[in-house]
Amino acid sequence: MKLRKVSAASAAVLALALAATACGSDDKDDTSSGSSGGGDKIKIGIKYDQPGLGLKEPDGSFSGFDVDVATYVAKELGYEPNQITFVETKSADRENALARGDVKFIAATYSINDERAKKVDFAGPYLLAHQDLLVKKDSDIAKGADLNGKNLCSVTGSTSAQNVRDKIAPKANLKQLGGYSECISALQSGAVDAVTTDDSILAGFAAQDKYKGQFKLVGEKLSNENYGVGVKKGDKATVDKINAALEKMVSDGAWDKAVTENFGPAEYKNEKAPKIGVIVK
């Protein structure tokens, strides 16, 4: 009788162990380990609301230059597009998302600076952007100083508009709205005369089908924004692999193709692909 009870208990323990093993093997996610590829899937942080850079489309797909860079890098790390899970990482949460291990890396208009580099490691840069102005195609605003007495829009909490007024147009009227899409709509309606933020972001909005041919970039270079790929602090192996992937993306022409496809309709005069590790101050 005792022998049968022991056998039954052992069988139950064995069944539980097998079930746990099966559950663990179905959802391998490389983002929780220190390795740099070869898992069943990978989580990558992007923006969901920046046309031309990182945008979640109505059908659930993703588009934009950052998305193209992330997809190319992931492939070099050993992942096909169907193995990628894109995770929305808003600006304020990027460092925390990496520290928590929510994502393996982040490509989300993530400008490299000294303060951020204390908390995360960066691969790249992969794009050099500048703060610029977007105006209507027929606007007489040809330079920043022309904004004196005009309405300038930026997003609430951003320092971009104040930067313009401090440096080149002290009499500009600052208008702050909840998002860049609202600023672009205000520009289209004539409620504001210009919108300011990174030229890459402005070009992405201007390249949308509903805005094609309506706007132009002025060409002011009010700041240098070195976009990098954020990686968890200390994960040098992943940084090295991403840097190699970015160099390959430039050398095989995929980088130029992605720039043209995502920003071309806005006549975006982009800088050449930056060299890995070279930060333009």
68, 180, 221, 245 from 51: Cα distances, Å: 13, 10, 21, 24
pLDDT band of residue 268 (cuts 50, 70, 90) is confident
* Strand (E) or helix (H) holding 66: helix 65-76
Average pLDDT over residues 32-41: 55
What topology does CATH give the domain 30-129+225-266?
Answer: D-Maltodextrin-Binding Protein; domain 2 (3.40.190)
From the CB of residue 88, how many other CB atoms can be counted at a distance below 10 Å? 15
For 140, residues 6+ apart whose C-beta sits below 8 A from its C-beta are 146
Q: Do domains 30-129+225-266 and 130-217 have the same CATH topology?
A: yes
Q: Are 146 and 140 in contact (CB under 8 A)?
A: yes
Q: Of 256, 113, 134, 108, which is closest to residue 205 (Cα–Cα)?
A: 134
For residue 218 the two structure tokens come to 């002025």
Which of residues 21 and 249 earns the better pLDDT score? 249
Q: Are 62 and 76 in contact (CB under 8 A)?
A: no
Average pLDDT over residues 169-189: 94
Cα 121 from chain centroid (whole Å):
15
User: pLDDT tens digits, residue range 53-110?
Assistant: 999 999 999 999 999 999 999 999 999 999 999 999 988 899 999 999 999 999 999 9
Least confident of 78-87, 186-195, 238-247, 265-274: 265-274
CA gap 77, 57 in Å, rounded = 25
For a pLDDT cut of 90, what percent of the chain falls above it?
75
pLDDT band of residue 265 (cuts 50, 70, 90) is confident
CA gap 49, 51 in Å, rounded = 6
Query: Which sequence spans correspond to the domains of the chain?
Result: 30-129+225-266, 130-217
CA gap 88, 71 in Å, rounded = 15
Q: Are 37 and 79 in contact (CB under 8 A)?
A: yes
Domain 130-217 listed as CATH 2.40.50.140: no
For a pLDDT cut of 70, what percent of the chain falls above it?
86
Per DSSP bridges, beta strands 62-63 and 42-46 are unpaired
Residue with tokens 């401090």: 166
Q: Are 194 and 135 in contact (CB under 8 A)?
A: yes
pLDDT band of residue 5 (cuts 50, 70, 90) is very low
